[in-house]
Amino acid sequence: MSEDMIATLGQKVAADILNEPDRKIRPDEPLISSGLIDSMSLVDVAILVEDTYGVHIDDTELNADTFDTLIQLAELIQARQ
Amino acid sequence: MTTFSDILYTHYQTHPDQTAIIMQYAGQPDRPVSYRELLSGANGFASTYARRGIQPGEVVILILQHGEDLIHAFYGAILHGAIPSIMPFLTEKLLPERYRADLAALVSVTRPSAVVTYPEFEPEVYAALPVPPSGWYRAPLGEAAPDAGTSVREVIVTGQVDAPSEPDFTALGGMQRAAEDIVLLQHSSGTTGLQKGVALSHRAVLNQVETYKKALHFNPQDVIVSWLPLYHDMGLIAGFLMPILTGNPLVLMSPFDWVRSPVRLLQAISQYRGTLAWLPNFAYNFCARKIRARDLEGIDLSSWRGVINCSEPMRYESHATFLERFQPYGFRPAALMTCYAMAENTFAVSQGGVDAPVTIDKIDREAMQVERVARPAQEGRPTTHMVSAGRPIASTEVKVVDDQGRTLPERQIGELAVRSDCMLTGYYHRPDATEKAFIDGWYLTGDYGYMADGEVYVAGRKKDLIIVGGKNVYPQDLELLAMQVPGVHAGRVSAFGVFNDQTGTEDVIVVAEVDSQDPDERVRIADEIRQALNRGSAIAVRHVHIVNSPWIVKTSSGKTARLANREKYLQEVGQPVR
């Protein structure tokens, strides 16, 4: 379940946010603190998660302290589903 | 009324309880700050500066985030007669080493006496101070090399600042300043920008405010809303100083909060009946595309009389996108305005869209590119929609010059030159740079453009510069970072900007030559380049294009021919060349 979600999130982030559909994102790869997802794309992450999983991430939570990797993002989504 | 302190004193005497700023914080209730509170908080800082031996006329660097500490520290320096300069705060993604190098660059040239920051950031400041400025700045011949670290006598942390207290204006150093004294420094971003502090006098800023107010038909009912960073001229002058000096309410939020929730700007306009806001071009697209419909329920934008496009190349399409999305919420087409501005002229050079709708000049694309003439377009020929930046404000004259400094006629594209009574006094401690910037009293902007019917049109930069999301970066700096990645050919990298219609700003593209044919290795190199640039600069890279040697086009002198590389890239990835 969680692995499926991580794979799906990874594909969506690569395609919709990085604009590089072939890019593989490792489950533990830092996304925000590395600058891979820049601040101007954070709101896209929130919209992507809400549209796909119906889970709301508040804008005050869009930072590396709340989630920085696909694993952490999947955990956050599961905790709220 | 010749200095900031004179004006602040008048506010304090005549309407101390009027709201000066409504401070917004994500997840917290708004906090209105009256002039009395603003100046009492500032007075706590002023007495701290005095107690710590900072003299009027000395520079104080503020490294603080959005909040009351920042505004108090800023106006405290003004009340004390010291010269405040706001430095960007370290962001989540930026490498601390990069930040330290930038801070060291700033300190080495500007030679501030004090730095104000948070207790937890104090070690970062100390880490930057002893670093020698070797390589960052070479003093001109005959001038002693500045010595980083020695100028800063005090690092003042927010926990050690005197409590707010009502100011005694007769005793304040700020009341002794003269109109021609320097009131503040503005820096642009990046290491290069931080070595050129734009020094502005009280007189220059007040002349700007007076004439820009008139151009905007500023009135007492105006309410300004801003999320712009205060280390940038648009945020500092238009979105911070002007409303406080004129006595108009300001609703101020953090750029970090806005970028995570762009609807905050519209909520603030709606809630406080905001009338004016300044935005870089990308923000039009960002607001139009990234706000959910449900977040707009109940939003009323009918009070908004001016959204002013400034600081990035302005796009006709961005205005149209913004209008289409927000007209149903009361946004009026007449509110679309434009401005051409630069820190060296304090802020605004010209303003458009106030007395009449913004002029869209339809010109022949080929004539513009080949003949450097802005010829009105004819049926059936490729056309470019140029967005007018309006007429020069009353304090400022604009002309267009060629390479030899000769004035060009209407519709000829050349370098824009500016002369005004709100011009910088000089680049602080950089007489060499100041001298180079002027020709016969005219400031050479480095922007290409033309004049038509008294209006200013900006048509590109003289130097290679990528403007992304309102931030300026030099491609050379990005190329240097990419060349440090193992596996990349030294000198065989090209960085450039490609305009993105969706985002309304430029995408940063990097092309790098490598030897390896191993697909995994090529992905690793691309990733490392992306990482190096994202963490080593203020911007984020959109695409890293890995190519085989030889690919990069060089000029006869061995420099990277960016324009040619950009065209080659666009052809290779199948995008139209424009």
Which residue in chain B has the smallest CA separation from A48? B290
d(CA B278, CA B274): 12
Report ipTM (2 d.p.): 0.92
Q: Are strands B383-387 and B360-364 parallel, antiparallel or unpaired?
A: antiparallel
Partner A contacted by B520 (CB < 8 A): no
pLDDT at B134: 38
pLDDT at B142: 40
Given an 8 Å threshold on Cβ–Cβ distance, is B257 in contact with A63? Answer: no
Domain regions of chain A by residue span:
2-80
Nearest to A40 among B259, B523, B531 (CB): B259
Which residue in chain A has the smallest CA separation from B283? A40
Given an 8 Å threshold on Cβ–Cβ distance, is A32 in contact with B292? Answer: no
- The three-state secondary structure class of A65 is coil
Which residue in chain A has the smallest CA separation from B503? A40
User: pLDDT by residue (tens digit) across A25-78?
Assistant: 999 999 998 888 988 899 999 999 999 999 999 999 999 999 999 999 999 999
pLDDT at B433: 92
Which residue has 């190329």 as its token pair?
B479
**Cis peptide before B132, with omega less than 30 degrees from 0?**
no
CB B487 within 8 A of CB B515: yes
Tokens of B125: 């400041």
**Which residues, in sequence order, are CB contacts of B79 under 8 Å at separation 6+?**
B5, B8, B39, B42, B43, B45, B46, B167, B172, B173, B174
On chain B, the residues whose CB falls within 8 A of the CB of A51 are none
Partner A contacted by B540 (CB < 8 A): yes
Partner A contacted by B259 (CB < 8 A): yes
Given an 8 Å threshold on Cβ–Cβ distance, is A40 in contact with B540? Answer: yes
Tokens of B444: 């050479």
d(CA B511, CA B492): 8
Given an 8 Å threshold on Cβ–Cβ distance, is A60 in contact with B27? Answer: yes
pLDDT at B135: 38
CATH class of the A2-80 domain in this structure: mainly alpha
Q: Which amino acid is at B514?
A: V
**Which residues, in sequence order, are CB contacts of B213 under 8 Å at separation 6+?**
B242, B246
What values do phi and psi take at B189, rounded to 5?
-80, 170
Radius of gyration of chain A (CA): 11
Minimal CA–CA distance to B74: which of B62, B65, B63?
Answer: B62
* Run of H or E residues at B529: helix B519-536
Given an 8 Å threshold on Cβ–Cβ distance, is A38 in contact with B256? Answer: no
Q: Which residue positions in chain B have pLDDT lower than 50?
A: 131-146, 148-149
Domains observed in chain B: 4-23+34-196 (3.40.50.12780), 239-461 (3.40.50.12780), 466-572 (3.30.300.30)
A-proximal residues of B, 225-244, CB under 8 Å = none
On chain A, the residues whose CB falls within 8 A of the CB of B260 are 39, 42-43, 46, 59-60, 62
Chains A, B: CB contacts within 8 A come to 62
* Run of H or E residues at B307: strand B306-309
Minimal CA–CA distance to B402: which of B441, B371, B366, B448?
Answer: B448
User: pLDDT by residue (tens digit) across B341-372?
Assistant: 999 999 999 999 999 999 999 999 999 989 99
Given an 8 Å threshold on Cβ–Cβ distance, is A43 in contact with B91? Answer: no
**Which residues, in sequence order, are CB contacts of B403 under 8 Å at separation 6+?**
none
Given an 8 Å threshold on Cβ–Cβ distance, is A35 in contact with B26? Answer: no
Which residue in chain B has the smallest CA separation from A18? B542
pLDDT at B242: 98
pLDDT at A35: 84
Given an 8 Å threshold on Cβ–Cβ distance, is A33 in contact with B292? Answer: no
Given an 8 Å threshold on Cβ–Cβ distance, is B92 in contact with A44? Answer: no
Given an 8 Å threshold on Cβ–Cβ distance, is B259 in contact with A39? Answer: yes
d(CA B49, CA B52): 5
- CA torsion sign, A66 to A72 to A77 to A79? negative
Given an 8 Å threshold on Cβ–Cβ distance, is B543 in contact with A19? Answer: yes
d(CA B89, CA B83): 19
For B273-427, where are the alpha helices, taking DSSP H only?
Answer: 281-290, 316-326, 365-366
Given an 8 Å threshold on Cβ–Cβ distance, is A44 in contact with B290? Answer: yes
Partner A contacted by B469 (CB < 8 A): yes
Distance from CA of B63 to the nearest CA of A (A): 20
Which residue in chain A has the smallest CA separation from B26? A60
**Which residues, in sequence order, are CB contacts of A35 under 8 Å at separation 6+?**
B93, B94, B531, B534, B535, B540
**Which residues, in sequence order, are CB contacts of B516 under 8 Å at separation 6+?**
B487, B522, B525
Which residue in chain B has the smallest CA separation from A20? B543
d(CA B104, CA B128): 5
Minimal CA–CA distance to B300: which of B258, B268, B277, B324?
Answer: B268
Distance from CA of B534 to the nearest CA of A (A): 5
d(CA A55, CA B165): 47
d(CA B134, CA B150): 15
CB B22 within 8 A of CB B139: no
Given an 8 Å threshold on Cβ–Cβ distance, is A43 in contact with B542? Answer: no
